[in-house]
Amino acid sequence: MKKKNLLQRTIIIAIVTLLGLYVVIGPRRRPTRHDFTWSGIKATLAENIHLGLDLKGGTHLVMRVKTDEVLKNLTLADAATINKAIKDAGLPAKEATPETSNGSYRIVLEATDAARLAEIDQAAKKSLGNDQSYWTSSTSGNAVVFTLPPSAQSTLAEQATDQAQRIIESRLDAVGVAEPLVQRHGSQASHQILVQMPGIHDPERVKQLLKAESKLELVHVVSPPSPQSAQTYNTEEEAKATLGGTVPTNRRVLPYAERNEPTAAGQTATSDAQKQKKWVVVESPAVVDGNELRSAQAVQAQGGGDSYQIAFALKPTGAQKFGTWTGANINEYMGVVLNDEVKSIAFIKSQINDQGEISGRFTKQSADDLALTLRSGALPAPIEYQEERTVGPSLGADSIRSGVRASLFGLIFVVVFMLFYYRGAGVNAVVALLLNMILMLAGLIIFQATLTLPGIAGIILTIGMAVDSNVLIFERIREELRTGKTIPSAVEQGFARAFVTIIDTHVTTIISSMFLFVFGTGPLRGFAVTLVLGLLINLFSAVYVSRTIFMWELSRKRKLESLSI
């Protein structure tokens, strides 16, 4: 019976050990002769273990999507829509006023004829179209008030964050970042996105690219029609003055960098100061915006040389809108607006359907980046960077070296002490410890967990905790032996009694590590993962395996006079 039990245990341990070894140093392909050499094993190990950015090198970015901008823009746009509808229907109401402050978003529509309030309410609601579902409306006095309730606010903010995440993914993909990780970060309501890019050590370009809002709009410039030249102003104040001092919601005043023909190569990046900056008044909202964009490409400017421009095409829906509008506004001026700056103004000669271009003084790279950000769609809201960490490859390698060195020294201390102090039983502890290390690495690989520098610290701590289980057991066996028990019963009692304590100590440590894992961020999580994994495995290696070795020793001799412990 006992013999059979021992055999069963030995087989289980052997299988687990072999599986663990295979997972850790076995190649995931047909093995070659090289895989059995030291350098081959090292290479496979490095391939199998998923290293964190702090060890491998790379960039870690945390950004926040400014979702309040989305809500603000929605409120402004919907107020403009309502205004237009009310005006078109000729209803007696004052201009709808959007209110966006302190997290409350409202549109107040005041009727000049209170009797027709219901009619105005109906018309305003109808004009909102799909957006109607976000707003709740109520009437107070002679005004209709549209409010964005918290639930709608969070839905919209959530959508914007998801959309931003998708756009960031596609931008990273397009620029060729290898194996980027893009995921939500922090609590749901914080609207943060985490981006990790292994191998990117100088993230400036990528950062600019991710942050680039690249909002393209085609707008109607307020100006007398051609052949008179487009109406521009020398200062912003001058432009505003024509609107009566304040800018109404259906107008915008934008800077216009008048296009200079490209000069000699190398001087493409003319500084702003040299450009003649002017201002124009345009209608709001735009005729079509970046969402209607089908494609955008950097092409060499007609003059050739180092100057580039961006050719774009519109989607069918946008093209239809654009076609209708250009058809109806021949000889009017149209502006191409990029990021709230008018890039070019042209008068409409004939109906245009879906092609256009953005000219400016772009270099090849800036035109490429701009085209890319246009293609991947506009970010629904601006983003801001809250955390940026970069690790160079040699810094990561240094960390691995010092981590491995510290682990090895820790391991050697422990092994030497255990063998010295517990003699024969020390061997049990050492075998259990080594098995624990192998299985922990295997566990990291199986769960595809990331090994970080704090993770290595977790491994070192596990060495300490793992050996504690064996110390507890051995000390207990010694105690039982001192009370005069036979060796087999002392071993049995020692394991049984120490086991209760081991469970308690492991559970408490696992509890605190769980909190680290659930609430902690990046590096803390890496630490919690290895520690929990190490402790769970320890229950197997320090208790089950160590026990089996004792059983094996006890079964070898019929009568055991002494136990080396």
Partner 1 sequence: MIQVFKDVKIDWLANRRIFIAISILLMLFGLGSAVFRQVKHPNGSEAFNMGVDFKGGTVVTVRFKQRPSAEVIRDALVKAGLKDAIIQPVTDKPDMVLIKIPLEGGGESQAQVEAGRAKVRESLSTFGPETGIDKDLNSDANAAFKIEGTDAVGAVAGAQLRNKAIATTLAALVGILMYIAFRFEWTYGAAAVIAVFHDVLVTLGFFSIFQWEVSLTVIAALLTLVGFSVNDTIVVFDRIRENRRLHRRESLYKITNDSINQTLSRTIITSGLVFLSVLSMVLFGGEVLRGFSLALLIGVTFGTYSSIAIASPIMVWWEQRLESANRSSAVTANRDQLRPIGASKRAAAATEASKQSRGAGRA
Cα-based distances in Å from 539 to 329, 534, 535: 79, 9, 7
Query: Contact between 565 and partner 1 (CB under 8 A)?
Result: yes
| Cα 65 to Cα 211: distance, rounded to the nearest angstrom | 10
DSSP per residue, 418-445: HHHHHTHHHHHHHHHHHHHHHHHHHHHH
Q: Determine contact, residues 357/310, Cβ cutoff 8 Å.
A: yes
SS3 333: strand
Only one of the segments 41-49, 73-81, 258-266, 416-424 lies at the binding site for partner 1 (rule: CB under 8 A); that segment is 416-424
CA–centroid distance for 420 within its chain: 50
**Scanning residues 23 to 62, which ones bind partner 1 (CB under 8 A)?**
54, 62
Nearer to partner 1, 238 or 504 (CB): 504
Is residue 531 part of the contact set for partner 1 (CB under 8 A)? yes
Angstrom distance (rounded) from CA 327 to CA 321: 10
Asked if 472 is part of the footprint of partner 1 (rule: CB under 8 A), the reply reads: yes
Report how far apart, in Å, the C-alpha atoms of 360 and of each of 133, 266, 546 are.
Answer: 41, 15, 74
Token reading at 189: 């309501």
Nearer of residues 218 and 490 to partner 1, judged by Cβ: 490
Q: Is 64 in the site for partner 1 (CB under 8 A)?
A: yes
For partner 1, the closer of residues 184 and 315 by Cβ is: 184
E-strand stretches of 159-231: 181-185, 192-198, 216-221
Q: With respect to partner 1, which residue has the nearer C-beta, 36 or 519? A: 519
The binder of partner 1 chosen from 505, 536, 540, 544 (CB under 8 A): 505
Residue 181 or 406: the one with the smaller Cβ distance to partner 1 is 406
Residue 111 corresponds to which tokens in the numbers above?
Answer: 């009727």
Binding-site member from 460, 536, 539, 554 for partner 1 (CB under 8 A): 460
DSSP labels for 106-164?
A: EEEEEBSSGGGHHHHHHHHHHHHGGGGGG-EEEEETTEEEEE--HHHHHHHHHHHHHHH
Out of 113, 237, 238, 504, name the contact with partner 1 by CB under 8 A: 504
Is residue 364 within 8 A of residue 306, CB to CB? The reply is: yes
By CB under 8 A, the residues from 508 to 527 that bind partner 1 are 508-509, 511-516, 519-521, 523-524, 527
Kindly state whether residue 501 participates in binding partner 1, applying the rule CB under 8 A. yes
Which residues between 362 and 401 bind partner 1 (CB under 8 A)?
Answer: 384-392, 394-395, 398-399
The answer to the question of residue 409 lying near partner 1 (CB under 8 A) is yes
Cα torsion 352, 358, 359, 363: sign: negative
Please say which residue, 93 or 487, places its beta carbon nearer to partner 1. Answer: 487
The answer to whether 202 contacts partner 1 (rule: CB under 8 A) is: yes
Give least dist CB 519 to partner 1, A: 4
What is the size of the binding site for partner 1 (CB under 8 A)?
77
Figure out which of the listed residues 475, 488, 540, 555 binds partner 1, where binding follows CB under 8 A: 475
d(CA 308, CA 265): 11
Q: Which of residues 477-496 bind partner 1 (CB under 8 A)?
A: 478-479, 483-486, 489, 493, 496
Structure tokens at 325: 């509008």
Among 410, 431, 544, 554, binds partner 1 (CB under 8 A): 410
Closer residue to partner 1, CB minimum distance, 67 or 223: 67
Which is closer to partner 1, CB of 358 or CB of 463?
463
Token pair belonging to 81: 């829509």
Do the Cβ atoms of 164 and 193 come closer than 8 Å? yes
Which tokens belong to 522? Answer: 């990046």
Binding mask 220-259 for partner 1 (x = CB under 8 A): ----------------------------------------
- 500 touches partner 1 (CB under 8 A): yes
Task: Work out which of 334, 438, 467, 542 binds partner 1, going by CB under 8 A.
Answer: 467
Candidates 131-139, 276-284, 305-313, 405-413 — which segment interacts with partner 1 by CB under 8 A? Answer: 405-413
C-alpha–C-alpha distance, residues 219 and 341, integer Å = 11
Instruction: Rank residues 46 and 514 by Cβ distance to partner 1 and give the closer one.
Output: 514
CB of 54 to partner 1, least distance (A): 8
Q: Taking the complex as a whole, how short is the minimal distance between the CB of residue 428 and partner 1, in angstroms?
A: 15
Four-CA torsion 436, 438, 439, 442, nearest 10 degrees: 160
CB of 521 to partner 1, least distance (A): 6
